[in-house]
Structure 1
Amino acid sequence: MKQIKKGLQILFALGILCVANIFHLEAQTSKFPWPEGKKMALSLSFDDARKSNLELGIPLLNNYGIKATFFVLPSAVQANIGAWKEAIAAGHEIGNHSIIHPCSGNFPWARDKAIENYTLDRMQNELILANEQIRDLLGVTPLVYAYPCGQTFVGKGEFTQSLVPMVSSMFLAGRGAGNEVASDPFFVDLAQVTGMGMDEKSFKDILPLIESAQKNGQWLVLVGHDTKESGSQATYLNMLSELGAYINDPANGIWSAPIGTIAQYVKSAREAVSDTVNNPQLVRISSNGQLRLTAENGKGIGPEIKYMPDWRAFGWFTSKDKVVWDVDVPSGGVYEVWLEWSVSDEEAGKEFLLQAGDQSLKGIVDKSGSWETFKKKSIGKIPLKSGYVQIEFKPAVHFEEEALLDLKEITLKKVD
């Protein structure tokens, strides 16, 4: 039966087996399911509500049917309220860019509004006020935010605090600036969507960013300011024209939409495939007070170990295979360890080792009935210190051409 399962994995990898659900299909190869089989997503964004956006940029984008996100300050839109409402009617998105655009006091022009002199309360109040004023002026409440100058903090030194948790609670997405890589839709923190600059660049300069995102199935967010023929802090109109034509060529496989539209899609798609995609990440305490080390959030290491989305488990094929989790232990103490696994009666009985820092726990893999029958039971207790720890699960014995088990989850429950 184990060899049959291994053969099915190969069939899945080759794309031979058909499934009805597109999310499930994409989960087999860990490719993000962009709409209509697109290779990547692309969002154009512009900061500060520059007048040139209304006069030149938006008409050009409209000609190509491209909808962008404009991060505005309420004071900047007051002189052209009618034109900004027309932009909204054309499908463009309005985002929050704060009330007074605080930045580091290292910028001479920002010294009197230095973000180092802000507190979280002050910033939150200003973001709420900006949302209210934008709603009153334009009739829309922003769902997305762009960090002014790309800075995600307030304060300095020992008093520095992150704005990210607050932005996460207030907005669907927060966009950075000056970043070096596009966002991985499976991994990205929507409160910290990366933004890469497009001001003062030619299409030839931008194309490598697009090609990299196409190759990796990423979400590329481009950041601009003015939209002009030339000048500093300007996204050049000829670049936008070439980019618009490239986006509209179906052969390039680009889904272009405002940041909020793509962020909502990413959020929904990730929820749909969250328990069928192996996406290693730090394990934190769950809402029920447990540490859940699942096959989805662990990293398989070894020559033959495979994550099997149809069983939502890791499968062992050699004694050199293991699974590793990065774990944030909230408080030190003794934790009871629960194992959810499956194994055939023929392969049962091998010894396993759970290693957590300098602590370890050994046990024997009991019978579960079959490879398709998963069971859950307590396998013992282990003391853990608070803070970061790497936890490994692996065979404690050497074997050839056999298997240890299929591992679905290890759950840690504090008992003291």
Structure 2
Amino acid sequence: MHLKLLTGLLLASFLSLSTSAQTKKTNNAHKAIICLTYDDGLESQLTTGIPQLDSLGLKATFFLNAIQGSSPSDVIGQTPEAVLGWTNAAKHGHELGNHTLFHPCPKNLGWDSTVSIENYTIDRILKEISTQNALLTLLDPKRKKRSFAFPCNNNLIQGHDYVKLVHDKGLIRFARGGGDSNSVITDFKHLDPLNVPSWHVWTGTTLDQLISFAEKVKKSHGMGVYQFHGVGSQIFKISSETHRTFLEYLKAHPEEYWVTTFSEAMQFVTK
């Protein structure tokens, strides 16, 4: 009797959990998918962007190259602020992704020859991405698979796309590329998980422009990936007020937008 009762309770519990997970997936399938991604591990993301996200309970993806401020602290035995900041970000549910170690870009964008992509080999980029993964594991040990973002949205080394090899080596799972304010993803069947388009948000982008992109994603029942950099300061910056108000807009429309990390969104749309 007791065994039958226990079996029944376990079965009911399983069915309840299964139904709950199914309902969540079904609900999300009817929403626009919004991914907030941030590049380069900038200080303004730690001081302004993440606190704003956390205050509203929104999760984002941060693609880090090296670790800004990871040199030894002035106080012996004290953890550098950036290391502590990124560790806490991961603990709070944000995703830490790979953006290479030295952020190699084309010379014509002003990059020094020592870290320009023209002087890279496939072997060098593989070692760099692998090393960055090791650093990220120290900050975020729970995550076993990393997403990747191309530095300067460039995926070529000597004319060859290197990302598939990086994926096949097991170093990354998904990769984000570049794009513009028309880069709304609707054709999930043919979406390349190793070159997912995003909107590179430029300096001075307004609140209306940020919302307009989200509304295009909503209207098409698609997925939109924002590529931010500085929040309130630093490169490609948008004002902290604009950033905050945009987050509040997304938070105020949970029935329309599913705001999630890049990897979680990609796992959802690829399955």
TM-score range normalised by the length of the shorter chain: 0.7 to 0.9
Conserved 8 A contact 2:145-2:173:
no
1:252-282 alpha-carbon deviations (Å, 9 max, x no partner): 61000010111111122xxxxxxxxxxxxxx
User: What does residue 108 of structure 1 align with?
Assistant: 110
Tell me the distance in 2 between the aligned counterparts of 1:105 and 1:54: 29
1:302-323 alpha-carbon deviations (Å, 9 max, x no partner): xxxxxxxxxxxxxxxxxxxxxx
1:137 Cα deviation from its structure 2 partner: 4.2
Tell me the distance in 1 between the aligned counterparts of 2:133 and 2:260: 22
1:235 Cα deviation from its structure 2 partner: 3.1
Conserved 8 A contact 1:199-1:233:
yes
Tell me the distance in 2 between the aligned counterparts of 1:34 and 1:45: 24
Q: Percent identity?
A: 25
User: What does residue 172 of structure 2 align with?
Assistant: 171
Counting helix residues as a fraction of each chain, which structure ranks higher? 2
User: Secondary structure at 1:190's aligned position in 2?
Assistant: coil
Would you say 1:188 and 2:191 are equivalent positions?
yes
Bigger Rg, which one: 1
Conserved 8 A contact 1:120-1:161:
no
Tell me the distance in 2 between the aligned counterparts of 1:105 and 1:223: 22
Counting strand residues as a fraction of each chain, which structure ranks higher? 1
Would you say 1:215 and 2:219 are equivalent positions?
yes
Tell me the distance in 2 between the aligned counterparts of 1:94 and 1:196: 19
TM-score by length of 1: 0.52
Change (3 A) 1:123 1:35: farther
User: What does residue 289 of structure 1 align with?
Assistant: none
User: What does residue 28 of structure 1 align with?
Assistant: none
The unaligned stretches of length 5 or more in structure 2 are 1-18, 20-24, 71-79
Alignment of 1:282-361 (within 5 A): none
Two-structure CA RMSD over aligned residues (Å): 2.2
Q: Size of the alignment, in residue pairs?
A: 232
1:83-124 alpha-carbon deviations (Å, 9 max, x no partner): 111111111100001010000011223432111222222211
Instruction: Pick one of 221, 227, 231 that aligns with 1:227.
Output: 231
Change (3 A) 1:215 1:124: same
User: Secondary structure at 2:114's aligned position in 1?
Assistant: helix
Change (3 A) 1:181 1:137: closer
Alignment of 1:139-158 (within 5 A): 139=141, 140-141=143-144, 143-155=146-158
Tell me the distance in 2 between the aligned counterparts of 1:34 and 1:234: 36
- Look up the equivalent residue of 1:174 and give its one-letter code: A
Change (3 A) 1:39 1:108: same
Instruction: Pick one of 255, 262, 267 that aligns with 1:264.
Output: 267
Conserved 8 A contact 1:145-1:175:
yes
Instruction: Pick one of 36, 40, 65 that aligns with 2:32.
Output: 40
Conserved 8 A contact 1:34-1:41:
no
Conserved 8 A contact 1:175-1:193:
yes
1:329-374 alpha-carbon deviations (Å, 9 max, x no partner): xxxxxxxxxxxxxxxxxxxxxxxxxxxxxxxxxxxxxxxxxxxxxx
Change (3 A) 1:35 1:74: farther
1:34 Cα deviation from its structure 2 partner: 6.1
Change (3 A) 1:85 1:261: same
Change (3 A) 1:111 1:238: same
Conserved 8 A contact 1:77-1:84:
no
Tell me the distance in 1 between the aligned counterparts of 2:35 and 2:43: 20
The unaligned stretches of length 5 or more in structure 1 are 1-20, 22-32, 269-416
1:161 Cα deviation from its structure 2 partner: 0.7
1:208 Cα deviation from its structure 2 partner: 2.1
Tell me the distance in 1 between the aligned counterparts of 2:177 and 2:69: 22
User: Secondary structure at 2:104's aligned position in 1?
Assistant: coil
1:232 Cα deviation from its structure 2 partner: 4.5
Tell me the distance in 2 between the aligned counterparts of 1:189 and 1:258: 17
- Look up the equivalent residue of 1:147 and give its one-letter code: F
TM-score by length of 2: 0.78
User: What does residue 85 of structure 2 align with?
Assistant: 83
